[in-house]
Amino acid sequence: MKKLILVSILAIFLVSFFSFPAPAAAGQSTCVVYFTGIGCPHCAQVDPIILEQLPKEYPNLVVIEYEIYQERENAPLLYEYNEVYGSGLGIPLAIFGQDNFLAGDAPILKNIKGLIEKGNNPCPLIDGSSVDFEDLDVSNLPGKPIIWPKSIGEKPGQSGEAILAELTLPKILSLAAVDAVNPCALAVLTMMLFAILAFAPKKRHNILLAGLAFTTSVFVMYLFYGLVIIRFFQLIQALTSIRLWLYKILGLAAIILGILNLKDFILYKPGGFLTEMPMFLRPKVQNLMFKATSPRGAFMVGVFVTIFLLPCTVGPYVICGGILCPLSLLEVIPWLLFYNSIFVLPMILITIACYIGFTTVESVSGWKEKNIKYLHLVAGLIILVLGIAMIMSWV
């Protein structure tokens, strides 16, 4: 038994000894340039390994990371490295040198340890030259790199996640505000309240219950639509050439939507393209509304009515989805909850105001019709400024 124990300990020691990576000679780093993107599903498989685990296993490993989705200064570098190294435009991408790179999650995970264990590897630079990391002037590296392990280098500025969180709030708030003052959504709510009053004019509490039920159904369905939109954008992230331009495309879409709203302020015509519900859909929505005779019916009608609401409210929501698509599902949900809370806030306020007698459904409907041009003006200015800021990289 003692011999068995001794043999087992010896075997464990030998396996541990020979499987542990041999350290490189002092001052000889193994350097790799790594391209990744926040939200890229393939990158998510590799990032924890190459950025955190391997630098701990291999003390002389140095990773120069370029995140290209949120750090827009880094995106052109992927093209420039491809011109010199022929490494392609897909991510994740690990470049060790000329004709020595790994592209894609599976090749990296399978082969990167073998390349690291070859020992000293100078840092491949964007002009095709290479230099030992010990002689590299990190401050002159192009773009905004992160040097891993962080104990030997600091990234200028915040992490990609922090930048995303900081810059997302004003953008998402602006887009949600544009959706919140959408005349289309307000018109649908007032139609719903009219229908409830017509069925039971003396049961005032039905206004509160039906209005909140309708608002809840809109909130739930738009949360679902948001997840679908974001998933669509995530599916095209593999097409890096498109993803690199996606932020600018979203900015251009915001500008176009802003101009359409401003057009409705200057030359108003009901049923404006992408700004109001098309005229041919309005009778169908009205007929559907008058089938709601209870709070439960209001909820069910709200589920179906959101389909008709989409043509006039989806513009800001699509832009929102494009901005949020780099995030994971757990990170996306709080943002969607925030967006849709702002979106339905006017519905809640109108419902409560009508219930407590502060105003009437007729007054709300009349105010909306009287000020509809100014609602378009506010929405147009907000989203136009946001679009210009996105195009100019101000936000």
Bond from prior residue into 149 cis (ω within 30 degrees of 0): yes
Mean pLDDT of 127-144: 89
Same domain flag for 110 and 190: no
| 318 Cβ neighbours under 8 A, 6+ residues apart | 229, 253
pLDDT at 313 over 80: yes
Please compute the mean of the pLDDT values over residues 342-351 and round it to a whole number: 91
CA–CA separation, 169 and 338 (whole Å): 10
The pLDDT, as a whole number, for residue 102 is 96
Look at residue 78 and tell me whether its pLDDT is greater than 80.
yes
pLDDT per residue as tens digits for the range 93-112: 999 999 999 999 999 999 99
Instruction: Identify whether 12 is part of a domain.
Output: no
Same domain? For 165 and 149 the reply is no
- Over 60: is that where the pLDDT of 19 sits? no
Asked if the structure places residue 9 within a domain, the reply is no
The mean per-residue pLDDT over the stretch 332-337 comes to: 92
CA–CA dist 120, 173 (Å, integer): 49
Q: Decide if 32 contacts 63 (C-beta within 8 A).
A: yes
Identify the pLDDT of residue 395.
61
pLDDT at 129 over 50: yes
What's the mean pLDDT in 221-225? 94
306 & 376 share domain: yes
**75, pLDDT greater than 80:** yes
Q: Are residues 274 and 188 in the same domain?
A: yes
Q: Which of 130, 157, 184 is the last residue of a domain?
A: 157
Q: What percent of the chain has pLDDT over 90?
A: 32
Query: Would you state the pLDDT for residue 199?
Result: 63
Give me the DSSP letters along 176-228.
Answer: HHHHHT-HHHHHHHHHHHHHHHHH-TT-THHHHHHHHHHHHHHHHHHHHHHHH
The pLDDT, as a whole number, for residue 238 is: 52
Same domain, 138 and 207: no
> Is residue 18 predicted with pLDDT exceeding 80?
no
pLDDT at 383 over 50: yes
Pairwise pLDDT comparison (363 vs 392), residue with the higher score: 363
User: For the chain, what is the largest distance between any 2 Cα atoms, rounded to a whole number of angstroms?
Assistant: 95
- pLDDT band, very low/low/confident/very high, at 127 (cuts 50, 70, 90): very high
pTM reported for the whole predicted model: 0.61
Find out whether 380 and 246 touch, Cβ atoms under 8 Å. no
Residue 189 and residue 74 in one domain = no
Asked, for residue 28, whether it belongs to a domain, the answer is yes
pLDDT of residue 301: 83
Count up the domains in the chain and report the number.
2
Q: State residue 154's pLDDT score.
A: 43
Residues 226 and 98 in one domain: no
Tell me which of 240 and 185 has the higher pLDDT. 185
**Is there a single domain that holds both residue 118 and residue 169?**
no
pLDDT classification of 286: cutoffs 50, 70, 90: confident
Identify the weakest region by mean pLDDT among 17-26, 348-357, 358-367: 17-26
β-strand partners of 101: 95
Query: What's the pLDDT band for 153 if we cut at 50, 70, 90?
Result: very low
Same-domain pairing of 225 and 344: yes
> Can you tell me the distance from the alpha carbon of 302 to that of 164, in angstroms, rounded to the nearest whole number?
33
- Cα dist. 303→61, 70, 233, 315, 329 in Å? 55, 35, 24, 19, 23
Compute the mean pLDDT over every residue in the chain, rounded to the nearest whole number: 81
User: Is residue 22 over pLDDT 50?
Assistant: no
User: Which pLDDT score is estimated for 354?
Assistant: 86
Judge if 226 and 374 occupy the same domain: yes
286 assigned to some structural domain:
yes
- Give the structural domain span for 80: 19-157
Q: What is the pLDDT of residues 173-190, one digit of tens each?
A: 889 998 888 888 778 888
Tell me, yes or no, whether 75 lies in a domain: yes
- Do 228 and 334 lie in one domain? The reply is yes
* Domain end residue (candidates: 112, 137, 157): 157
Maximum mean pLDDT: which of 60-69, 159-168, 196-205: 60-69
Average pLDDT of span 235-252: 69
Query: What's residue 164's pLDDT?
Result: 44
- The residue-averaged pLDDT of 337-356 equals 91
Residues 382 and 335 in one domain: yes
| pLDDT, mean of residues 18-26 | 40
| Residue 228 in this model has a pLDDT that exceeds 80 | yes
Does a structural domain hold residue 4? Answer: no
The arithmetic mean of pLDDT across residues 62-73, rounded, is 89
- Band the pLDDT of 297: cuts 50, 70, 90: confident
Residue 70 pLDDT greater than 50, yes or no = yes
Give the total residue count for the chain: 395
State the residue for tokens 């700004």. 275
pLDDT at 151: 52
DSSP 3-state of 382: helix
Considering the domain boundaries, does residue 293 fall inside one? Answer: yes
- Is residue 152 included in any domain, yes or no? yes
**Burial of 125 from C-beta contacts in 10 A (0-12 / 13-18 / 19+):** middle
Q: Of the residues 142, 157, 172, which one is the last residue of a structural domain?
A: 157
- Tokens 């608002």 found at: 215
